[in-house]
Structure 1
């Protein structure tokens, strides 16, 4: 999950608030305020509301630290982290690629629950010092309990939970087969999801409408995420053994850096071409796409050279001819581009596009 409202960067990682975060922040605040009202009727309403809002903020700060734990360990294993986003179901750290080894997978996965467990111990210890009846002690006691729940919940052994990644690391280490380990962990995650949905239905039938709907909603989310993991594993399995040079197109359009954007649009884009390599002094200097053309006002098309709007070759995501195709797929998805040049010793040999990848997946999937 990417996008949302940017709120800062931590260790170079962009941090976002998804719009759904505001919904759950409101619900947590109202729920805590109501609970405090029942338990401490003598506390002023303003105190209860302020305490509830502060606790909700610390709750999401705890979730952020959980995801930051994953991220820091991932970066130690040279796995880039694209973003951390807080949303209605908590938080997610988006990795740029899968962990390189079972050990890396285990350490990255377990880091989050370890952070939550330490937070539970810390909040619980401080709460004990202040007493559970004091406003601060009540808040910290709840935070200790909820962080313990987060740690235990995330250790359930099914994707997309951290416990599912721990299970995958174990199976991967035992079998040496990453795709098979992923499928097993994702299938376990689907059964866990069905369990949550079933419990939610039972809650609804017993009259607990809000709790039942929330539990079923969590189950639906887990089911969707684990299903997506299974599909991703099947795609990666279909691409196993293929490298970029096996599928790349060598029919790569090229244009001179000095031609106008208008000429490029008329001669290439209108003929079905959506991008081209830009050549300057017999050297590939960049790439120009339809998106680049759209950023130029139409009245300036005939006076603007494509070299001025092209993305420089140094800024492009490129792959080598022997790059595994699943890495190419990951790069296209992570960088949100439609094509990646294949470069060897500084020379562009061809390109792999989204369409080429789709064809390869469909063909290999049909043969297996």
Structure 2
């Protein structure tokens, strides 16, 4: 999440807080501290607000435990947890990728609510079996209540909530299609978002006050559910396409047998602005790449005598993709390696062409124009 502040590591997982977290921390501290001061007049000085701060930190610790529940299940499934972020609306565990199966997605989604329910049960048991009372008893009571609400709220069946991810897993299991699950759960999240917004506006229409929190929650659900739905549609298209489908039609490719003079005359002067060309052998197999700037090291008088092969540099195998590889995998590789383009080759090493981020976008745009919704 952009704009977060790194706090440290928890079990090897980066732990961040968003600036909005400090607003909620201050608000809970003041409001709950004021409540304690009114409920227990004997508390003097700044003690009510100190206890309010402790209560606020314990509430956020509950949110953190909820996210750790997701994180531990993800790690068990071999999924990297990039970070845990706390923000205005709670917390979020940022994962490297989706679970591989509907069952995995189900357990990953339900882990957080189960942790919150377990904490509610533990705190309730402590409250019933001990004689804790007064301010600490009040804090214990609200802590148990918050964990129960945290579990039940997150089980609402709409993205981006855990209940939405559970719904996604169920639809994925029934249809066999992950993306249909995401779209269905995303639409459910949008419906719930509109309901939350309506519940925030109706009291105002009836002469009451505006429910600001319901409006914020509704907006949050609408925005994130909409993004999830849109992303799922794009991912479904990418999964159905291959790297070869997105290869540039005018990929910068030259034969190693050309002289530098032929290379410049046929491919550079007035014809291409490419700064690097992929080089192939007689069989069309990729052997490396030549940079236009490398020509400066060779006197022009020698261009007819020196071949492209002599200036060709090898291309690492890890920076190429197979022609039949899913375009979704290719996009993931581009993002992970922070690349803008990749050579596409067939199993026998024959070069198909160059694939760029721009060529992928162009392909999706052409398909959208050919098949308007």
**Distance (Å, rounded) in 2 between the aligned partners of 1:322 and 1:353:** 16
Change (3 A) 1:96 1:275: farther
Q: Deviations over 1:112-131 (max 9, x none)?
A: 11111111112222233454
Q: Deviations over 1:217-254 (max 9, x none)?
A: 11000000000011112212222321223324483699
TM-score by length of structure 1 reads 0.77
Q: Which runs of 5+ in 1 are unaligned?
A: 255-266, 288-311
Q: Offset at 1:337?
A: 4.7
Q: 192-201 or 117-126, which moves further after superposition?
A: 117-126
- The residue that corresponds to 2:110 in the other structure is 110
Partner of 1:15: helix, strand, or coil? strand
- The residue that corresponds to 1:322 in the other structure is 324
- The residue that corresponds to 1:356 in the other structure is 359
- The residue that corresponds to 1:238 in the other structure is 237
- 1:214 counterpart = 2:213: yes
Change (3 A) 1:135 1:276: farther
**Distance (Å, rounded) in 2 between the aligned partners of 1:341 and 1:44:** 71
Q: Offset at 1:363?
A: 2.0
Partner of 2:46: helix, strand, or coil? helix
Superposed counterparts of 1:1-368, under 5 Å: 1-131=1-131, 133-205=133-205, 207-209=208-210, 212-249=211-248, 251=251, 319-333=321-335, 337-339=339-341, 352-368=355-371
Change (3 A) 1:83 1:276: farther
TM-score by length of structure 2 reads 0.76
Contact 2:319–2:343, Cα closer than 8 Å, also in 1:
yes
Q: Deviations over 1:17-71 (max 9, x none)?
A: 1111111111111121122223222222422111111111111111112112112
- The residue that corresponds to 1:302 in the other structure is none
**Distance (Å, rounded) in 1 between the aligned partners of 2:275 and 2:232:** 30
Q: 316-325 or 354-363, which moves further after superposition?
A: 316-325
Count of residue pairs the alignment pairs up: 322
Change (3 A) 1:46 1:126: farther
Contact 1:239–1:364, Cα closer than 8 Å, also in 2:
no
The CA RMSD measured in Å over matched residues stands at: 3.2
Partner of 2:84: helix, strand, or coil? strand
Q: Offset at 1:160?
A: 0.7
Q: Offset at 1:330?
A: 3.6
**Distance (Å, rounded) in 1 between the aligned partners of 2:136 and 2:192:** 36
Change (3 A) 1:52 1:181: same
Change (3 A) 1:53 1:356: same
**Distance (Å, rounded) in 2 between the aligned partners of 1:357 and 1:247:** 5
Q: Offset at 1:9?
A: 2.1
Q: Deviations over 1:300-328 (max 9, x none)?
A: xxxxxxxxxxxx969x7765443321233
**Distance (Å, rounded) in 2 between the aligned partners of 1:184 and 1:365:** 21
Partner of 2:93: helix, strand, or coil? strand
Contact 1:73–1:107, Cα closer than 8 Å, also in 2:
yes
Partner of 1:83: helix, strand, or coil? strand
Change (3 A) 1:36 1:353: farther
**Distance (Å, rounded) in 2 between the aligned partners of 1:118 and 1:274:** 60
Change (3 A) 1:161 1:252: farther
